[in-house]
A and B are shown apart, each in its own frame.
Chain A
């Protein structure tokens, strides 16, 4: 393999796998995309290139440089191909803010979104929904501050935080569909609603954003599996 070739190991329903692909698209870089069918078992290449977590996404640059963890990959792409448009802000303070919100989304917000689907009982579900809505209110405020009147968290162009947050939109929409509710609401978070449409129709994003219906079908499959595992565990 040529020393400059790029491979991405991913999985189409994964929001994390979308992130490196959007970043590569923003830099107008070509790459080979390898779909891992995770429910059929992990490939040798995946196990070799991510022995610690055995998870996608993995970016393999050239012959021997695997990079793991989606946000670390995005930063790598930004730094290795520094001549293309910048993904992270140049100001250290703005970078810290972008990193802070990306970490919040990964560590707190998206787990709350996922827990709505598998919450046991009405109380737990309500609490999860409240946490998600609280997070969206925070992100609306962050959007106001970061975008400075422009279209994206990154300003004129899609940036790190747009990628981090936007990659969760597919599953957010599925959650809205499954629970017949609006989480991203024009009344409460008007800025984010417009930003979401703008993000999803961006050239670097639209081909890697999964179709909501297709994702919903997959979601049903995953929830059924989790419930079955839970029921099996309770039977012992």
Chain B
């Protein structure tokens, strides 16, 4: 039976980008379906009734929800090419820990940076930078979090790079000034076709954020 892979997604979603990168790394052909989140498709509601969120990976008709679960699924099913998780159990646990940390911190802290102002924003910026620095320390001198090649944590984190310009403009700060090694790592990832093709242009994301701010009445 021919493999049928569909990804329900929304172009600026860093979570969707993770699955795009994983699929590209494995060389898997798939159908990309753009969702209008203000008018969710019947397919999305059917495939993710619990959360009604993107991304949703549909493999031969069966849905897999939650981006990190999707990346692990992709890694396990198409295991003979470009492994994303290490084989050593302790290294695997470490990779899962950091991907989970990124999930718990980056999106919410980043959101607070662009959604708030004044004191609240100052606090959000401080916490956001602290988190980035912790992640940067974990990278150390390795070319990738995965070591010599792109791995699970790289895939989990690099999508947020497409949002950095938006965070910086909204928060009036420079991520490169705070975390130069992280920016060097991001640029290294962007050299890979799987990443470059999966991330939207940073200006486009910034324009999207400005639209969101208008819609929610945030100055």
Measured as residues with beta carbon below 8 angstroms from the partner, the interface class of chain A is: 20 to 34
B89→A95 contact, CB < 8 A: no
B62→A104 contact, CB < 8 A: no
Write out, one digit per residue, whether chain A residues 91-111 have a CB within 8 A of any chain B CB (1) or not (0): 011011001100110000000
Write out, one digit per residue, whether chain B residues 73-92 have a CB within 8 A of any chain A CB (1) or not (0): 10011000000000001101
B92→A79 contact, CB < 8 A: yes
B218 part of interface (Cβ distance < 8 Å): no
* Contact of A52 with B134 at beta-carbon distance under 8 Å, contacts A92-B76, A95-B76, A100-B66 already known: yes
Q: Which residues of A contact B72 (CB under 8 A)?
A: 95-96, 99
- The answer, among A76, A96, A103, for a CB contact under 8 Å with B64, is A96
- The answer, among B90, B92, B97, for a CB contact under 8 Å with A68, is B97
B50 part of interface (Cβ distance < 8 Å): yes
* Contact of A75 with B96 at beta-carbon distance under 8 Å, contacts A52-B101, A99-B69 already known: yes
Closest residue of chain A to B94, judged by CB? A67
B66→A99 contact, CB < 8 A: yes
- The answer, among B69, B96, B97, B101, for a CB contact under 8 Å with A96, is B69
A72→B96 contact, CB < 8 A: yes
* Contact of A92 with B89 at beta-carbon distance under 8 Å, contacts A69-B97, A103-B66 already known: no
Q: Once A and B bind, how many residue pairs between them come within 8 Å at the CB atom?
A: 53
Q: Which residues of B contact A52 (CB under 8 A)?
A: 101, 134
Task: Find the residue from B62, B70, B93 having the highest chain A CB count within 10 A.
Answer: B93
A80 part of interface (Cβ distance < 8 Å): yes
Q: Which residues of A contact B76 (CB under 8 A)?
A: 92, 95
- The answer, among A73, A100, A104, for a CB contact under 8 Å with B93, is A73
B97→A72 contact, CB < 8 A: yes
A228 part of interface (Cβ distance < 8 Å): no
* Contact of A76 with B90 at beta-carbon distance under 8 Å, contacts A92-B76, A93-B62, A100-B69 already known: yes
Q: Which residues of A contact B89 (CB under 8 A)?
A: 76, 79-80
B100 part of interface (Cβ distance < 8 Å): yes
29 A-B pairs (CB sep. < 8 Å): A65-B90, A67-B90, A67-B93, A68-B97, A69-B100, A72-B93, A72-B96, A72-B97, A72-B100, A75-B92, A76-B89, A76-B92, A76-B93, A79-B89, A80-B89, A80-B90, A92-B77, A93-B59, A93-B64, A93-B73, A95-B72, A95-B73, A95-B76, A96-B64, A96-B69, A99-B72, A100-B65, A100-B66, A138-B50
Binding site for B on A (CB under 8 A): 52, 61, 65, 67-69, 72-73, 75-76, 79-80, 92-93, 95-96, 99-100, 103-104, 138
Q: Which 5 A-B pairs have the closest CB atoms?
A: A79-B89, A92-B76, A76-B93, A80-B89, A96-B73
